Amino acid sequence: MDRIIINGPCRLEGEVDISGAKNAIVAILPAAMLVDGVCRIENVPQISDVENICNILIAMGAKVNRAEGKTLEVDCSAVRCTEVPYEYARKFRASYYFLGALLGRFGNAKVALPGGCHLGARPIDQHIKAFEQLGAQVDILHGNVHCTAEKLEGDDIYLDMVSVGATINAMLAAVKADGLTVIENVAKEPHIVDVANFLNSMGANIRGAGTDVIKVQGVDRLLGGSYAVIPDQIEAGTFMAAAAATGGRVLVKNVIPKHMECISAKLEEMGVLIEEFDDSILVDATAPLKKANIKTMPYPGFPTDMQPQMATVMLRAEGTSKINEGVWDSRFKYTEELIRMGAEIAVAGKVATIEGGRQLLGAPVRACDLRAGAAMVIAGLMAQGTTTIEDIDHIRRGYERIVEKFASLGADIRLVLD
Tell how strand 205-207 and strand 351-355 pair up: unpaired
SS3 assignment, position 304:
helix
Q: Which is nearer to ligand EPZ, 315 or 370 (CB)?
A: 370
Asked whether position 88 contacts ligand EPZ by CB under 6 A, the answer is no
Asked whether position 93 contacts ligand EPZ by CB under 6 A, the answer is yes
Asked whether position 121 contacts ligand EPZ by CB under 6 A, the answer is yes
Provide the minimum distance between the beta carbon of 355 and ligand EPZ in the complex, in angstroms, as a whole number.
Answer: 26
Nearby residues of 87 by Cβ (< 8 Å), 6 or more positions away: none
Please, are residues 309 and 333 in contact by the beta-carbon 8 Å criterion? Answer: no
Q: Please say if 54 is a catalytic residue.
A: no
- Cα–Cα separations (whole angstroms), residue 332 to 44, 90, 321: 30, 22, 15
Contacts with ligand EPZ, 166-185, as mask; x by CB under 6 A: x-------------------
From the centroid of its chain, how far is CA 244?
A: 21
Run of H or E residues at 280: strand 280-284
Asked whether position 117 contacts ligand EPZ by CB under 6 A, the answer is yes
SS3 assignment, position 317:
coil
Asked whether position 56 contacts ligand EPZ by CB under 6 A, the answer is no
Q: Which is nearer to ligand EPZ, 117 or 313 (CB)?
A: 117
Asked whether position 16 contacts ligand EPZ by CB under 6 A, the answer is no
Q: Which is nearer to ligand EPZ, 181 or 309 (CB)?
A: 309
Q: Which is nearer to ligand EPZ, 313 or 317 (CB)?
A: 313
Please, are residues 31 and 225 in contact by the beta-carbon 8 Å criterion? Answer: no
Check residue 230 and report its DSSP letter.
Answer: P
Contacts with ligand EPZ, 123-152, as mask; x by CB under 6 A: xxxxx-------------------------
Asked whether position 193 contacts ligand EPZ by CB under 6 A, the answer is no
With contacts defined by CB under 6 A, name the span among 56-64, 160-168, 236-244, 387-395 that binds ligand EPZ: 160-168
Using alpha carbons, select from 401, 402, 394 the residue that is nearest to residue 365.
394
Among 155, 194, 305, 400, binds ligand EPZ (CB under 6 A): 305
| Residues 341-344: contacts with CB under 8 Å, at least 24 apart | 341/365, 341/379, 341/383, 341/387, 342/383, 343/315, 343/379
Asked whether position 122 contacts ligand EPZ by CB under 6 A, the answer is yes
Provide the minimum distance between the beta carbon of 94 and ligand EPZ in the complex, in angstroms, as a whole number.
Answer: 4
Catalytic residue among 10, 54, 76, 117: 117
Give CA–CA dist 62/83, Å, rounded. Answer: 13
Site for ligand EPZ, rule CB under 6 A:
23, 26, 93-94, 117, 121-127, 161, 163-166, 187, 304-305, 327-328, 370-371, 398
Active site residues: 117
